[in-house]
Amino acid sequence: MANAGIHQIASQTVPVNASKHRTEREIVYCRVIVLIGSVILAHALSWEWLRYYTSELVRHVVLVRNLQLVRISPDTLAWGTEHFCYVTSCTFIDVFLGCLPLMWDLHAGVPRNAACISATAIGLLCLNITRLTAALALYRFGIAWWFADGVCGGIAYFAAWMALWRASAFGREVRGAFFVKV
């Protein structure tokens, strides 16, 4: 009853569409604030186990392409005299934790959200291993490491963004709040 009363008052003072867009904008701002917090949290932790497993996956994948990477420390692989250190951003954990507040659907239940998060985790893992392997392959062909790693990283970030934009609650809210005229 109380909610109905508030809705009546709101609908009398401002148009329904404008109210809806304002609420969506507020939700978007909240999501962005939580996103920033998540990324800071991701980089505040060391994620040693994840760095190890990421590098181990890369090592096994490149082995298929006849590239022998030797483990010299839990987060470092060597190819000849070149050493490759896998830091936090190599694990894509910052991207994954940043995605969580953006993709959580407020209108869906916990099981559906959990399923979406699991699918996102698997998708990001595949995307991350692909871009790390591609960077190594480009480097092997003689391209400078900063460029090879940068290009693959930039494209992977953009691909993650596009997937988020098209499929997540955040994308729908931004499209509704900012790109549709009231």
Partner 1 sequence: MYAPALAEYLGKQLLQGTLTVFKRYLTIVATCLASSLVLAQCIPIPNTGTLLNPSPNAGRCQVEADGSFCYLAGKDQSIPTGKCETQGRPGNWNCTCNMAGQPAPYFVLNPGFLANDMHTPGIMSGGIGLLAVNGFSGNVTVSCLVSGPIPAEVHPSCTLTPTAVTVGSIGGFTNLSVPIANLPLGNYTVQLSASSDDGTTDLTSMPLVISPPKPKESGGGIAAFLIFVILIAAWLLERKWRMLASTR
Point out which residues bind partner 1 (CB under 8 A): 76, 79-90, 132, 135, 145-147, 149-158, 161-162
Question: With respect to partner 1, which residue has the nearer C-beta, 125 or 155?
Answer: 155
Question: With respect to partner 1, which residue has the nearer C-beta, 111 or 142?
Answer: 142
Q: Look-up: residue for tokens 């190819």?
A: 79
Question: With respect to partner 1, which residue has the nearer C-beta, 112 or 166?
Answer: 166
Q: How far is the CB of 178 from partner 1 (least distance, A)?
A: 11
Amino acid letter for position 5: G
Q: How far is the CB of 157 from partner 1 (least distance, A)?
A: 4
Structure tokens at 36: 């920033």
24: helix, strand or coil: helix
Amino acid letter for position 149: D
Question: With respect to partner 1, which residue has the nearer C-beta, 87 or 119?
Answer: 87
Q: How far is the CB of 63 from partner 1 (least distance, A)?
A: 17
Structure tokens at 44: 């505040």
Question: With respect to partner 1, which residue has the nearer C-beta, 149 or 173?
Answer: 149
Q: How far is the CB of 91 from partner 1 (least distance, A)?
A: 8
Q: How far is the CB of 149 from partner 1 (least distance, A)?
A: 6
Residue 136 has a CB neighbour count (10 Å cut-off) of 23
